[in-house]
Amino acid sequence: MSKGLILVTGAGGFIGGHLVADLLKKGHRVRAVDHKPLDQWWQKFPQVESWSANLELLEECHKAVKGVSHVYNLAADMGGMGFIEQNKALCMLSVLINTHMLMAAKDAGVERFFYSSSACVYAAGKQTDPNVIALKEEDAYPAMPEDGYGWEKLFSERMCRHFTEDYGLQTRVARYHNVYGPQGTWKGGREKAPAAVCRKVAQAKISGDHRIEIWGDGLQTRSFQFIDDCVYGTQALMQSDIREPLNVGSSELVTINQLVDMAEEIAGIKLKRSYKLDAPKGVNGRNSDNSKILKLLGWEPSTRLFDGLTKTYAWIYDQIVTDAPCPSY
C-alpha cells in the first residue's frame, strides 16, 4: 500500500465509512469525499480531510484526486433491490462518476484505482434457479446483467480495463456480493435484505405485533458478506497484481426464509409470515464462486452469516429504540 494520500469516494456511505475507519487504523492518510452533506455521513473522523462534492462533475473529480496516490472509488447512487429495480436510469447515471474519476485519476498520475462493481453484472440466465451454481468471474459474459444498475457496473468494469490497457492506469475491480453490517442504511427504501429483515424483526419484537412481510416467496437464494470481510478483501485486492474483476463475496448460500429464521432466532421470537409476491425480488438465485480469490489471494470471506447478522441486528435494534436518523444510503 502506498504511503501517500488515499482517496475514498462514497466515504459517507456504508462501505466507504468502514473502509476509511480501517485505513486510519493502519496509519494511512485519507481524503474522504461524498455527495451527501457531512451531517448525513454514516461515519466521520476528525483526522480525515472530508468534504461534500458531486463527483458526476469532472471538475469536482479533478479536485478530489489532487495529490492522491491511490483511489478507492465506491461512489454510486444505489440501494437494495427495491431501489435499483425502480430507479434504473438513476442507477445508470452513476457511470458519470466512474468515467470522470478515471479521467481525473489518469490526468493526476494516480498509482492505483479501485472500482467497486457488483454481482449484478452476472448474466441473468445463470441465476434462474434458487439452487444456483455459484457464479464464476467468467459468467458475466455473454453479457445480460441486471437491467440498469448491472449494465452500468459492467460498462464501468470495461472502462477500467481499457484505461489500464490504453493509458497505463493500474485498476482493480471487485464484484461485491450483498454486503451487510452495522453503520449502514436500514430503512427508507435503499436498505438491502439483511438490514430490512433485521429491522422488521426488531420492530415486531419491540411492538409486540409478531408479523413480518417478506418480498417474494422467500425461496430465492443469496449469499451475504459481512462488512469486515468486504473491507479486508477490498484492500487485499488493491494491493495485489490481479487485474481482472474478482468476486469478493461469501459462498454461504441461504434462502430469504432462512435469513428470516436466523433473525428470529437472534431476536428470540417467532413471527407469522406473509409474502408480497409482486414486490421486487431480483433473480431467483445468486452465489459467489470463490475459487479464483482463494487461488490468487489465499483467502475468502469467512464470517458466518449468523455471527454477522447478530451484530447487525443488535445495532439496528438500538437505532430503532433510540429513534436514530438513517441517511438514505
What's the chain's length in residues? 329
Calculate the alpha carbon distances from 110 to 2, 232, 234 in Å.
11, 22, 18
The answer on pLDDT for 251 being more than 90 is: yes
The answer on pLDDT for 1 being more than 70 is: no
Mean pLDDT to the nearest integer, 236-256? 97
- pLDDT class of 281 with cuts at 50, 70, 90: confident
Cα angle: 18, vertex 22, 25; to 5 degrees: 145
In this prediction, residue 2 carries a pLDDT of: 56
284: closest CA among 161, 129, 168, 150?
129
The DSSP bridge partners found for residue 116 are 174
Give the chain's domains with CATH numbers. 5-176+227-248 (3.40.50.720), 180-222+253-321 (3.90.25.10)
pLDDT in tens, 111-123: 999 999 999 999 9
Looking only at the bridges linking them, the beta strands covering 211-215 and 272-276 are parallel
Q: CA 215 from chain center: how many Å? A: 20
- Average pLDDT in the chain: 95
Tell me the backbone φ, ψ of residue 76, rounded to 5 degrees: -170, 155
Mean pLDDT to the nearest integer, 82-108? 94
81: closest CA among 284, 280, 326?
280
The DSSP bridge partners found for residue 68 are 5
In this prediction, residue 156 carries a pLDDT of: 98
Residues labelled as active-site residues: 149
* CA distance between the termini of the chain: 28
Non-local CB neighbours of 218 within 8 Å, separated by 6+ positions: 255, 256, 257, 260, 273, 275
In this prediction, residue 328 carries a pLDDT of: 64
Rounded CA separation 113/87 (Å): 27
pLDDT in tens, 20-70: 999 999 999 999 999 999 999 999 999 999 999 999 999 999 999 999 999
In this prediction, residue 27 carries a pLDDT of: 95
236: closest CA among 75, 27, 76, 22?
22
* Range list of H helices, 168-287: 193-207, 227-239, 256-267
Contact (Cβ atoms closer than 8 angstroms) between residue 113 and residue 239: no
